[in-house]
Structure 1
Amino acid sequence: MNAPMPHIGEHIRFWREKRQRTQAAVAGLCGITEEYLSQIERGLKVPSLQVLYALARELSVPTAALLGDNQSDLVSENAYVADGVVTALIGYGRETAVRPVTPSELRERVESAWRIWQTSPKRFTEAAAILPELICDTENAIRAHRLSSDSEVRRDIFRTAADLYFMLRSYCRRAGRIDLSLMVADRALRSAEEADDPIRSAAAKWNLGHVLLAEGEHEGAKETAVQGIEALQQLPEGKDAQAMAGALELVAVVADARRKNWWHARERLSGNASLRAERAGEGNIMWTVFGPTNVDLHTVSIEMEAGEAAEALRVADQIDTSNLPSIERRFTFLLEVARCYDLRREDPAVLVHLLDLEAISPEDLARNPLAREMVCRLRRRVRPTYRRQVEALAQRLGIA
């Protein structure tokens, strides 16, 4: 039996009662039994990450709200999303009398935001400082140029808007706000269509696919990815189209894996995705980090999800992520390796990888539900030799 994690159960019960939902109704919609939900709320069972996501979705709260470790977390539904970002998004960018920024300035600022998001260990803090004004300026530029007679300037503005909303999709999703992530993914798709840019339209589908995966809509995610691939087949052959189609193939791979279609996932990964990676080479088309290394990383993910931790670790030992341009992708890889060791109960290796993750991006570690769950398990079973290090890590992450 899983060891208890009472604070998760208490938070689930808190939000269920606040939403005036019965255990039977919530359990049924999440695909679990009422008795199982009762055991979770009483701290007798630990929900899997998939069940946790389903519960958060049904209770209309970010996953972080169910994982909080003190009473203040119970009333903070926007714990990881800066208020200014939420206000700018919900307000759809305040209108100002100031002359709109130039397309070139806007492009430079969005690309700078992407560099922060992909490379900074403090990316949440730094992004939150610049995003509210950038959202507003982007929306003002769209309003100013929507009916412009200069079609190329208009398209450039919409290209830049699409790129910003691609980043916001990742920011909102990683911050636990799937609702906002879906909203900005839709804006990115509309902006890409307005720009009449096939590669960005495909990237918009890639972003939407990731939101659907996070929502548990695996079939919809795969369908979206396949639609994007089919649209790209109408373009002249080139590295960008190959790389973008390859990134979409990986969305379909993950969708198959989440539905436990391991054979289909492995076949698509070793077939279509690998072939496109060979043709495109290493790259970062539309910030997807697609290339042979990313395909290898997905091999680790699939084997881990299939429960083949030994095979996942064998593959992981052959992967060098040092040259990947995305801190998020390197973080995810190390997290999955840590999870493999966690499944094998190799606690020293789990601790080493968690400390490596903290060194790479302490803000990501603090915000990641799976990482926090591993730290909690490690605290309960770790040997005295490592207890002091584990306790110090838990304190730094704010785990009581």
Structure 2
Amino acid sequence: MVAPDLPIGDRVRHYRKGRQQDVVAGLVGITPDYLSQIERGLKMPSLHILYAIARELGVPIAALLSDQTTSTPAPPPTAEAGVVRALMGYGPALSTPAVGPRELRERIEAAWRSWQQSPTRFTDVAKVLPGLIAEVEHSVRAHRSGTDVQQRRQVLRAAADLYFLLRSYLRRTGRLDLSLMAADRAVRAAEDADDPLRVAAAQWNLGHVLLATDEHDGAEHVAMHGIAALHAEVPDDAERAAMTGALHLVSTVAASRRRDWDTARDRIRKKAAPAAAVTGEGNFLWTVFGPTNVELHRVTVEMEAGNISEALYLADRVDTSAVQSIEREFTFALEVARCYDLRREDPATLLHLLQLETLAPEDLARTPMARGLVLGLVRRARAMHARQAEGLAHRLGLL
């Protein structure tokens, strides 16, 4: 059984199952070099050749045809059905007693800690999110017409924080449509709570969804609007600096994705770095903003700009022990692996991928870039590294 998005070349290699490449090529009537190029994705065989390969390997031709044509396979959406159902439903009846804001806050913070710190974070939060969604939605409805304004605001703040978590979970599980919906609900909850800092955090979350959908201009607009509102409504303190800096990093990524490297570097140097100097390492409203995160963005910009040597030089100077999010640490290490991959340094690429498997195995299995790097090693690496990469591909469900 192979993943439905596995490319043709990887399917041929998989079904060859250790048989000598030159032997199979000879029986098919093609050169070993041509078969090697097919397996590495450099050549697309004709239907006649593909039929001959399938017949020699003892599989139907359909087994060699990928369901998708993308060269970097993407996993299918993996959001748990229970989370999706809870997000689309309404939970308990209105007559059911609502959970108080303090208990909601404690449960949401516990879920956030699991999401940011657990190697099995997808499994862990999927167990608690359906119940949390139902309780929060019910509590918001129950307090909508209440007379206790402060309690209502606390419930709405808790709701915003839960939607922040849902935005991240749904984006990382491939449900960008629902991630956008969660981000929108977060904005509404923060606005109803009349909490300018949470409104800014909601815009930061919305900006990340827009970046994920390649709406770079929209992400930048949201970030700049959030920064302007913060400066107009919130006193100059460390919390404002943290949210301002986090929003500047969203605008930095937007500029980098537009290939405007100078603007991206300028925003880090003149905006994000000074804000991080004020805040120090922190995790205000789950943004993980601080000096280390700023340095990680420097690496990202140089990698995306194609300055691989500079990106690796900067990466060597980063100590990720201060990062309070496995997701951010995972993304950084994956970008380093990508840098080594671009330089065709297969041992270093494989080493980082194996370290990522230890750090966050569920993230590795769900990330298209990681899947592409693993399959690239399977295709081209020398025998020992190719075998290790193939073992990793099996564990990720790619083969």
Whether 1:113 and 2:120 are equivalent positions in the alignment is: no
Whichever residue aligns with residue 199 of structure 1, its letter is L
Partner of 2:264: 265
Aligned pairs (5 A) from 1:1-400? 7=5, 67-68=74-75, 78=77, 80-95=78-93, 97-234=95-232, 235-400=234-399
Q: Cα distance, 1:8 vs. partner?
A: 5.5
The change in CA–CA distance for 1:231 and 1:383 in structure 2 (over 3 A counts) is same
Distance 1:397 1:323 in 2: 28
Q: Cα distance, 1:66 vs. partner?
A: 5.8
Question: Does the 8 A contact of 1:88 with 1:94 survive in 2?
Answer: no
Q: Cα distance, 1:44 vs. partner?
A: 6.6
Give SS of 1:67's match: coil
Whichever residue aligns with residue 270 of structure 2, its letter is G
Give SS of 2:110's match: helix
More deviation, 95-104/280-289: 95-104
Q: Cα distance, 1:45 vs. partner?
A: 8.7
RMSD: 2.0
Q: Percent identity?
A: 57
Q: Cα distance, 1:86 vs. partner?
A: 0.5
**Greater RCO, CA 8 A, separation 6+:** 2
Distance 2:166 2:98 in 1: 21
Q: Gapped runs of 5+ residues in structure 1?
A: 11-42, 47-60, 69-76
The change in CA–CA distance for 1:310 and 1:95 in structure 2 (over 3 A counts) is farther
Q: Gapped runs of 5+ residues in structure 2?
A: 9-40, 45-67
Question: Does the 8 A contact of 2:378 with 2:387 survive in 1?
Answer: no
Distance 1:100 1:368 in 2: 38
Q: Cα distance, 1:323 vs. partner?
A: 2.2
Tell me which stretches of 4 or more aligned residues in structure 1 moved more than 6 Å.
43-46
The change in CA–CA distance for 1:223 and 1:45 in structure 2 (over 3 A counts) is farther
The change in CA–CA distance for 1:45 and 1:142 in structure 2 (over 3 A counts) is farther
Distance 2:223 2:183 in 1: 14
Q: Choose 1 or 2 for highest CA Rg.
A: 2
TM-score, normalised by the number of residues in structure 1: 0.82
Whichever residue aligns with residue 376 of structure 1, its letter is L
Whichever residue aligns with residue 67 of structure 1, its letter is A
Question: Does the 8 A contact of 1:159 with 1:192 survive in 2?
Answer: yes
Distance 2:90 2:255 in 1: 35
The change in CA–CA distance for 1:266 and 1:92 in structure 2 (over 3 A counts) is farther
Distance 2:43 2:129 in 1: 39
Whichever residue aligns with residue 390 of structure 1, its letter is A
Whichever residue aligns with residue 326 of structure 2, its letter is I
Give SS of 2:393's match: helix
Distance 2:103 2:81 in 1: 25
Q: Deviations over 1:223-253 (max 9, x none)?
A: 0000000011122110000010000000000
Whichever residue aligns with residue 210 of structure 2, its letter is L
Give SS of 1:322's match: helix
Distance 1:240 1:197 in 2: 13
Partner of 2:26: none
Give SS of 1:196's match: coil
Whichever residue aligns with residue 304 of structure 1, its letter is M
Q: Cα distance, 1:6 vs. partner?
A: 9.7
The change in CA–CA distance for 1:313 and 1:325 in structure 2 (over 3 A counts) is same
Distance 2:250 2:178 in 1: 20
The change in CA–CA distance for 1:144 and 1:350 in structure 2 (over 3 A counts) is same
